[in-house]
Structure 1
Amino acid sequence: MIAVLMGGYSAEREISLLSGHAVYEALLKSNVDCFSFDLTHENLESLWEKEFDKAFIVLHGRGGEDGYIQSQLIKKGIPFTGSNAIASNLCMNKATTKDLWSNHSLPLSPSIVAIKGQNLDSINFPLPWAVKPTLEGSSIGITKVKNQNELDEALKAAWHYNDEALIEQWVEGDEYTVAILNNKTLPSIKIISDHDIYDYHSKYFSNKTEYLCPSGLTIAQEKNIQMIALKAFNLTGASGWGRVDFILDKNMKPYLLEINTVPGMTSHSLVPIAAKASNISFEELVIKILNG
C-alpha cells in the first residue's frame, strides 16, 4: 500500500494538492494500491494509524521538501520517494546550497545573505538584484530590485516567509531546467514567460507561459547543462528524482539557480514535460519515481 502525501502547510499547499491528486490518479491507473493523505500540522499521528509500505512524497516547500516528513518516516522505518532528510534539508535552503556549489567551481551569480534584524554587509556586485526567501519555492516572495532604494521593500517581502533572504546579482537571460530521474538527466526545457519574473502565476496558472522541449540548445550546450545539473544534484546528496534550474545569459553561459527535490507534478509541471519528450508517459514517470 502506497501513501500519497500531499497538501501540507507551506506556501505551496495549493500546488501540492494538484500534484498529489495527479500522482494518486496515475497510481490508480497503474493498479497500485494507494490512498491519498492531505497532511496538516495536526494530523500526522493519524497517518501512522494507517497501514502502508511506502510514502510517495508530493509535498512541496516546508514540511515536505525540507527533510521534516522524511525524518518522521525514517523514525517509523517507512521508505519513501526522493531524497533523504539531510539532502532535502540542504536543498531547501538556497543559500546553503549555493555555498556548497561554490566550493566545487559550479557556475553561480554572486550573492549574499540578508538576515532580519542584522546589519547587511555591503553588496559588491552591480544592480539589478534578485531578492528571494531562502526557504520558499515556486518563485514565492521574489523581487527584482533595479534601484538601491527598492531593497528595503524587497527584503520585507522576502522576510515575510522566513528571517533569511538571498540577494543575488540578476542575470539577464532565459530560464532553463533539467529534470533528473533515477540518476539520469531528461531533456532540458526552455521556459518563456510573459512576466519579467517566471513567478508563481506564470508557473502554474498562466496559459501564456511556453515550455520548449527540446529547448533549442546545441548538442554541446545540452550536454553541458545536463552535466552541471547532475553534478549539482549529486553534490547535495539528493537522490531519486528532482529538478535543477538555470539561467542562461545572452552569451549562453549557464548559472545555477536552485534545486527542487519534490518538483511539481501538475499539468503545467516541468518534469512530466521532460519525461514526455523522452517517451515516458505520466503514469510511467510516476512508477519510475515510486520504484527509484
Structure 2
Amino acid sequence: MSSRTQPRIAVLMGGPSGEREVSLVSGRECAAALRSEGYEVVEIDAGESLVEDLRAAAPDVAFNALHGRWGEDGCVQGLLEWLRIPYTHSGVLASALAMDKLRSKDAYVAAGLPVAEAMLVPSGEISRAHPMPPPYVVKPYNEGSSLGIYFVSEGANAPAKIDGAMPERMMVEQYVPGRDLTVAVMDGRALAVTDIITEGWYDYSAKYTAGGSRHVVPAELPEEITAACLDYAERAHAAIGCRGVSRTDFRWDESRGLDGLVLLETNTQPGMTPTSLAPEQAAHKGISFGALTRWLVEDASCSR
C-alpha cells in the first residue's frame, strides 16, 4: 500500500453482467463498511471507462464487489493484474475456472469430491429431445446467481424450452434432490454450514427477493454431514485455487446419508451484504461485516 494515512480503496461494482443490480447492492454495502473501518473509499461502476476511472482514483487496493461474467470470470482480475493494483478475492485462473461449471467439476473430481453427472449441450438440441433421463437441470455453464436455470421434472414428456437469449451451449446436470447447503471458506478455512430453506427451487428470486428464503446457521445436520460439508468446501477452495473468501454450494439427499451429499459449485465472489450467506457465517464466527471487509482488503494482492 502507499504512504497515505488512510489507504484508498476502489470498490468495483455494477458492471455489464446480468447480476449488475445484485453487485450494486454488494458494492454499496462494502463501501459503507470500509468507510466505517477508516478507509478512504471511491465507488466505481465498472463500465467501459474502468481503466481510466482506476487510474484517476489511484487506489491502493481494488475491492472487487462485481458478480457475474467479466467481473468474476478472470477478465477484470487480468485487467487489475496489468495495472498492478492489488485486488480482493481470487486471481485470474481460479476465477475463470470456478465460473466454468464443467471444467470446475473436473477439478473437483480430481480432488476426490462428489459431483452430479453433467454435460455441455448445444442450446438448440436441448429443446428437441431429453439430453439425459429426467429429472435434470439446464443452466448456463458460465453464469451465477441461478440465472437462466430450467428444471425438467421426473417423467416430463417434453424437454426444456430454452429462451432464444440463452448462450449457444448450456450445461445439463443430473438433478440432485434434497436440502440446499452452503459453506463459506475464509483464508482456506471453512466457517460454517448454512441450511437454505425455500418453498421451491432456490432460484434468482428466492436468493434476492425479501422473504424468498430463510437461512439456518449453523445448519441442524448429523455431525457426519456437517464435517463432510466443511471438509469438501475447504478442498474445493484449494482445488480451484481460490484466495480470500469463497462459498461452495451443496445438495444433500437425507435418505442416502453421506452418499447423498453432492457438491454443486464454488462461488469466488459471494454476495457481500451483512445478510448475505458468507457474511452471515462470518458473523456466526464473531467476525463483523466491517472486520470481514477489512480482512479482505488486507488479504488483497496481485496473484495470477
The two structures have a TM-score, normalised by structure 2, of 0.89
Partner of 1:58: 65
231-240 or 172-181: bigger deviation: 231-240
Verify: 1:238 aligned to 2:246, yes or no.
no
- In structure 2, C-alpha distance between the alignment counterparts of 1:95 and 1:275, rounded to whole Å: 29
Aligned partner of residue 63 in structure 2, secondary structure: strand
Q: Deviations over 1:205-250 (max 9, x none)?
A: 1314110001012333211111111111111111111100000112
Q: Deviations over 1:177-225 (max 9, x none)?
A: 0001111111110000112x10111111131411000101233321111
Cα shift at 1:285 = 1.1
Counterpart amino acid of residue 181 in structure 2:
Y
- In structure 1, C-alpha distance between the alignment counterparts of 2:43 and 2:59, rounded to whole Å: 11
| Matched positions, count | 288
- In structure 2, C-alpha distance between the alignment counterparts of 1:77 and 1:46, rounded to whole Å: 15
161-170 or 184-193: bigger deviation: 161-170
Give the counterpart of 2:148 among 141, 153, 169.
Answer: 141
Partner of 2:227: 223
- In structure 1, C-alpha distance between the alignment counterparts of 2:199 and 2:125, rounded to whole Å: 36
Cα shift at 1:43 = 4.1
Partner of 1:259: 266
Asked if structure 1 preserves the Cα contact closer than 8 Å seen for 2:130 and 2:158, the reply is: no
- In structure 2, C-alpha distance between the alignment counterparts of 1:228 and 1:152, rounded to whole Å: 31
Verify: 1:170 aligned to 2:178, yes or no.
no
Counterpart amino acid of residue 8 in structure 1:
G
Q: Deviations over 1:42-85 (max 9, x none)?
A: 44323222211110100001111000110001011111001111
99-108 or 2-11: bigger deviation: 99-108
Cα shift at 1:143 = 1.0
Cα RMSD for the two superposed structures: 2.0
Cα shift at 1:14 = 0.2
Cα shift at 1:119 = 8.9
- In structure 1, C-alpha distance between the alignment counterparts of 2:111 and 2:50, rounded to whole Å: 41
Partner of 1:110: 117
Asked if structure 2 preserves the Cα contact closer than 8 Å seen for 1:131 and 1:165, the reply is: yes
235-244 or 39-48: bigger deviation: 39-48
Give the counterpart of 2:159 among 151, 156, 159.
Answer: 151
Partner of 1:2: 9
Asked if structure 2 preserves the Cα contact closer than 8 Å seen for 1:175 and 1:247, the reply is: yes
Cα shift at 1:268 = 3.8
Cα shift at 1:117 = 5.6
- In structure 1, C-alpha distance between the alignment counterparts of 2:132 and 2:166, rounded to whole Å: 25
The two structures have a TM-score, normalised by structure 1, of 0.92
Q: Give the 5 Å matches for 1:269-280.
A: 269-280=276-287
- In structure 2, C-alpha distance between the alignment counterparts of 1:160 and 1:103, rounded to whole Å: 33
Q: Give the 5 Å matches for 1:117-136.
A: 126-136=133-143
Asked if structure 1 preserves the Cα contact closer than 8 Å seen for 2:151 and 2:160, the reply is: no
In structure 2, runs of 5+ residues without a counterpart are 1-7, 300-304
Distance change in 2, residues 1:228/1:70 (3 Å):
same
Partner of 1:213: 217
Q: Give the 5 Å matches for 1:196-207.
A: 197-207=201-211
Distance change in 2, residues 1:226/1:48 (3 Å):
same
18-27 or 207-216: bigger deviation: 207-216
Partner of 2:5: none
- In structure 2, C-alpha distance between the alignment counterparts of 1:189 and 1:241, rounded to whole Å: 15
Counterpart amino acid of residue 222 in structure 2:
T
- In structure 2, C-alpha distance between the alignment counterparts of 1:200 and 1:248, rounded to whole Å: 20
Partner of 1:11: 18
Distance change in 2, residues 1:282/1:115 (3 Å):
same
- In structure 2, C-alpha distance between the alignment counterparts of 1:259 and 1:29, rounded to whole Å: 30
In structure 1, runs of 5+ residues without a counterpart are none
- In structure 1, C-alpha distance between the alignment counterparts of 2:80 and 2:11, rounded to whole Å: 13
